[in-house]
Amino acid sequence: MPRWSPHRLFRVVAVTEAITWTLLLVGMFLKYVTGTTELGVRVGGMLHGVAFVAYAVTTVVVALDRRWSLGRTILGLLAAIPPFLTIWFDLAMEKRGALGDRWRLREEEPRGPLEQPVARLLRRPLLGLGVGVLTVAALTGLALAVGPPTS
């Protein structure tokens, strides 16, 4: 599996999302069961929020590159909601060969307005990384402005 292929990127982000779920769940246990500290929820919650957004962005990019169906894309996005389901989804997509070892849009001409910006960013990886980080930061900021899920 080449470095930072769709497969590799999706795996890293899916596992990261699951790890941050663990941190948040431990934090919730400490806050609500033992009553010892809220720090785990604050830190774990923030890390999980960022990882959740990064997973959603990654899912959309990989879905466009690999030409996933709308149903598969929605299932991939929904996999971030229950704890640890991103790992199951990643393994299921690997088993079906839906992730790929090369970025299709680096080599093929994009089809349609959704593939065009993704192709441009995949062909310029440092720019793509920067735009990805800024997108995750902006969406995380928007989520914080809206308020936590319990508000």
Residue 104: strand, helix, or coil: helix
Checking if the pLDDT of 2 tops 60, the result is: no
Question: Would residue 71 count as lying in a domain?
Answer: yes
On whether residue 151 sits in a domain, the answer given is no
For 147, list phi and psi in degrees, rounded to 5: 120, 160
Q: Is residue 1 part of a domain?
A: no
Decide if 65 is inside a domain. yes
Does residue 42 form part of some domain? yes
pLDDT tens for 46-83 read 999 999 999 999 999 999 999 999 999 999 999 999 99
Mean pLDDT value of segment 16-25: 96
Q: Do 85 and 95 meet the contact criterion of CB atoms below 8 Å apart?
A: no
Task: Please check whether residue 72 lies inside any domain of the structure.
Answer: yes
Does 124 map to a domain?
Answer: yes
107-116 confidence digits (pLDDT tens): 999 999 999 9
**CA-CA distance, 137 to 53, in Å (whole number)?**
9
pLDDT at 86: 97
Q: What share of residues in the chain are helix, strand, coil (percent, to 5)? A: 75, 0, 25
Domain count, the chain: 1
Per the structure, the complete domain to which residue 15 belongs is given by 6-146
3: pLDDT confidence band, cut at 50, 70 and 90?
confident
